[in-house]
């Protein structure tokens, strides 16, 4: 049994998967947060949030690492942590700093900071010769407009330090680029109240299917668990609409994607981490989109577990404890698993989702999660706006995506005017 310090979390699936995994592995944890209400609000009515089942729940200045580190040292002296972990991108740099300060396992703070900053990732990978899009890092709208002339439209505009596809937009001309830059400037704080970096990243628009490579690095060796096939909605936003594991690709494409991900992780120095690397398979070969030094979101980890038996949340805990992760595959009875998201296309208030009972009873269904009636709905412009999802498996082959998309088509959200 080990004792982990969990520093903040997303309130989505990983906030439930991680406590479940720690319990199944016989570990206990202390949960450290600056805002306990953030998690209380996210719990279903009448239920406790799984993170609040921690042995200890402690409040502290998690947005101020300078103030946080001495407080964590005092906690460590009293409670003796064996590892430190988070599922939330915005706190990965703080966790790396804590691990270094306490002498606990983990990649270097520099490696994590470079992976979490999209502009730094671009510079590091370019210097290492890892293929990616042509790009420019701009201080403001004026700089972005000037850089766009050198790269050429269409372009993708990104904040350097946000997650979930927030404010990532395709732009096709100067007017759209200026509008995207102004929208970013009007969003100075992220969802956790941290001040954003003002830089703007513009990139060449890459054509081709998108995949992600799920890896586990331990003691300098990177293990490729598999490649996930990703579906992305239409521009200008890049909202993820579904995933399938494993990806339905040729052996050559699978090998090329895996090689690009391993090279990217090595260039960044991510030697003790579970990572989720997004890649575009362009006509000119794989191009790294971004490297996320944490398990995949959007329940990709569950797709992997359903097909291979490998628990990436458990692997994340293991490497944080300095232990070799269990990456042995087992026969789960499924050859593929897929998830499709119910993406709202209009604003209003959710009255119901028709067809839910029929979908839940369908063959091969693994999960159906839907928003409750009364929820305020906006047309999706990021991965934070889903109305739910359907997950299904295929025991015969790579048919899970087709099956789950058919099931999703049977769900009809009814909205009333806001």
Token match 């909202």: residue?
Answer: 239
pLDDT at position 346: 86
Cα–Cα distance measured from residue 30 to residue 71, given in angstroms and rounded to the nearest whole number? 14
Cα–Cα distance measured from residue 346 to residue 378, given in angstroms and rounded to the nearest whole number? 6
Helix residue ranges per DSSP H, 272-389: 300-308, 312-320, 356-360
Q: Is the pLDDT of residue 417 over 70?
A: yes
pLDDT at position 232: 85
pLDDT at position 13: 77
pLDDT at position 238: 83
Token match 């990616």: residue?
Answer: 132
Residue 117 per-residue DSSP state:
S
pLDDT at position 132: 97
Token match 């002296």: residue?
Answer: 77
- Bridge-based pairing of strands 28-33 and 3-7 is parallel
CATH hierarchy code of domain 133-204: 3.30.1490.20
pLDDT at position 342: 93
Average pLDDT over residues 232-246: 86
Q: What is the pLDDT of residues 153-186, one digit of tens each?
A: 999 999 999 988 899 999 999 999 999 999 999 9
Cα–Cα distance measured from residue 288 to residue 223, given in angstroms and rounded to the nearest whole number? 18
Q: Is the pLDDT of residue 223 over 70?
A: yes
Average pLDDT over residues 187-204: 95
pLDDT at position 292: 96
CB 344 within 8 A of CB 377: yes
Hey, what are 311's tokens?
Answer: 């628990």
- Name the percent of the chain lying above pLDDT 70: 98
pLDDT at position 167: 93
Average pLDDT over residues 77-100: 97
pLDDT at position 418: 57
Hey, what are 284's tokens?
Answer: 């000119």
Residue 411 per-residue DSSP state:
-
Hey, how many other C-beta atoms are within 10 angstroms of the C-beta on 250? 10
Mean pLDDT of the chain: 94
Q: What are the boundaries of each domain within the chain?
A: 3-104, 133-204, 207-332, 334-418
Domain spanning 3-104, CATH class: alpha beta
Average pLDDT over residues 127-149: 97
Helix (H, G, I), strand (E, B) or coil at 277: strand
pLDDT at position 45: 59
Residue 63 per-residue DSSP state:
T
CATH of 334-418, one of 3.30.470.20, 3.30.460.20, 3.20.20.80, 3.40.50.280: 3.30.470.20
Q: What is the pLDDT of residues 253-280, one digit of tens each?
A: 999 999 999 999 999 999 999 999 999 9
Average pLDDT over residues 109-136: 98
pLDDT at position 186: 95
pLDDT at position 217: 97
Closest CA relative to residue 106, chosen from 321, 294, 268, 265? 321
Cα–Cα distance measured from residue 324 to residue 309, given in angstroms and rounded to the nearest whole number? 16
Q: What is the pLDDT of residues 346-372, one digit of tens each?
A: 889 999 999 999 999 999 999 999 988
Closest CA relative to residue 272, chosen from 227, 229, 320, 307? 320
334-418 shares the fold of 3-104: no
Average pLDDT over residues 372-385: 83
Report the topology of domain 207-332.
D-amino Acid Aminotransferase; Chain A, domain 1 (3.30.470)
pLDDT tier, 52 (very low <50, low <70, confident <90, very high otherwise): confident
Q: Is the pLDDT of residue 44 over 70?
A: no
Closest CA relative to residue 391, chosen from 319, 301, 291? 301
Average pLDDT over residues 65-75: 97
């Amino acid at each position: 049994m080990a004792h982990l310090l969990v520093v903040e979390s997303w309130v989505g699936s990983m906030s439930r998967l991680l406590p479940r995994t720690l319990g199944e592995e016989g570990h206990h944890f202390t949960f450290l947060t600056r805002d306990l209400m953030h998690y209380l609000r996210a719990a279903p009515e009448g239920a406790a949030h799984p993170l609040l089942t921690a042995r200890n729940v402690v409040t502290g200045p998690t947005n101020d690492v300078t103030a946080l580190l001495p407080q964590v040292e005092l906690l460590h002296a009293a409670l003796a942590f064996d590892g430190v972990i988070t599922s939330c991108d915005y706190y990965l740099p703080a966790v790396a700093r804590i691990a270094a300060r306490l002498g606990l396992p983990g990649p270097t703070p520099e490696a994590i900071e470079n992976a979490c900053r999209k502009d730094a990732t671009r510079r590091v990978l370019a210097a290492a010769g890892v293929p990616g899009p042509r790009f420019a890092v701009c201080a403001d709208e004026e700089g972005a407009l000037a850089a766009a002339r050198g790269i050429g439209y269409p372009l993708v505009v990104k904040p350097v330090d946000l997650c979930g596809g927030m404010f990532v937009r395709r732009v096709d001309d100067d007017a759209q680029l200026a509008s995207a830059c102004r929208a970013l400037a009007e969003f100075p704080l992220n969802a956790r109240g941290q001040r954003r970096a003002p830089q703007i990243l513009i990139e060449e628009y890459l054509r081709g299917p998108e995949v992600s490579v799920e890896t586990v690095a331990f003691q300098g060796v990177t293990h490729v668990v598999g490649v996930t096939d990703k579906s992305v909605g239409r521009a200008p936003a890049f909202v993820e609409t579904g995933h399938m594991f494993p990806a339905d690709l040729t052996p050559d494409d699978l090998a090329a994607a895996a090689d690009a991900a391993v090279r990217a992780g090595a260039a960044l120095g991510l030697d003790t981490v579970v990572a989720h690397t997004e890649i575009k398979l362009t006509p000119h070969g794989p191009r790294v989109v971004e490297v996320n030094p944490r398990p995949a979101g959007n329940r990709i980890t569950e797709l992997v577990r359903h097909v291979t038996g490998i628990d990436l949340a458990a692997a994340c805990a293991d490497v944080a404890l300095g232990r070799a992760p269990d990456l042995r595959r087992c026969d789960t009875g499924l050859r593929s698993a897929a998830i499709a998201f119910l993406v709202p296309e209009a604003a209003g208030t959710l009255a119901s989702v028709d067809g839910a009972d029929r979908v839940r009873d369908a063959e091969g269904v693994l999960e159906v999660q839907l928003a409750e009636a009364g929820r305020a709905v906006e047309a999706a412009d990021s991965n934070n706006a889903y109305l739910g999802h359907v997950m299904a498996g295929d025991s015969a082959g790579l048919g899970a995506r087709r099956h789950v998309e058919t099931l999703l088509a049977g769900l009809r959200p009814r909205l009333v005017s806001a």
